[in-house]
């Protein structure tokens, strides 16, 4: 993972921030438009940096889960050889980790009564 100081430096470029107008200096429409464009670019860079870090973290998590699953398989094999009960811990995914579950709305989550039109 990238160093946090490097991330801050990548996102908050001093030169670019010095180009932004003070809120009391935004009188003309041209200055306002320039400010909007610069801020949109900065926001886009922040989002891209976040997404890069998120992808790195997600890959790291997936790798760690694979390592844990491999070790659990090995533990199961050893327990079978020793003829002992297996007490390995199975990792479970969080509900928020799958994209489909976020978009799915269950009937009990809707607090309103269902309304049927005459049509």
Domain ranges of the chain: 4-90
pLDDT in tens, 13-60: 777 778 788 888 888 898 889 888 988 988 898 899 889 998 898 899
Predicted local confidence at residue 67, as pLDDT: 92
CA dihedral (17, 20, 22, 27) in degrees, to 10, reads: 180
Predicted local confidence at residue 2, as pLDDT: 54
Q: What is the pTM of this model?
A: 0.59
Provide the mean pLDDT of the chain: 80
Rg (CA), the chain: 26
């Amino acid at each position: 993972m990238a160093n946090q100081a490097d991330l801050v430096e990548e996102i908050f470029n001093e030169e670019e921030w010095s180009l932004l107008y003070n809120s009391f200096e935004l009188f003309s429409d041209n200055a306002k438009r320039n400010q909007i464009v610069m801020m949109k670019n900065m926001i886009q860079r922040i989002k891209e940096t976040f997404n890069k870090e998120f992808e790195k973290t997600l890959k790291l998590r997936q790798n760690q889960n694979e390592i844990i699953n491999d070790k659990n398989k090995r533990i199961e094999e050893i327990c079978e050889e020793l003829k002992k009960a297996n007490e390995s811990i199975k990792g479970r995914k969080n509900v928020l980790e799958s994209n489909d579950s976020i978009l799915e709305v269950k009937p009990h989550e809707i607090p309103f009564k269902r309304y049927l039109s005459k049509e």
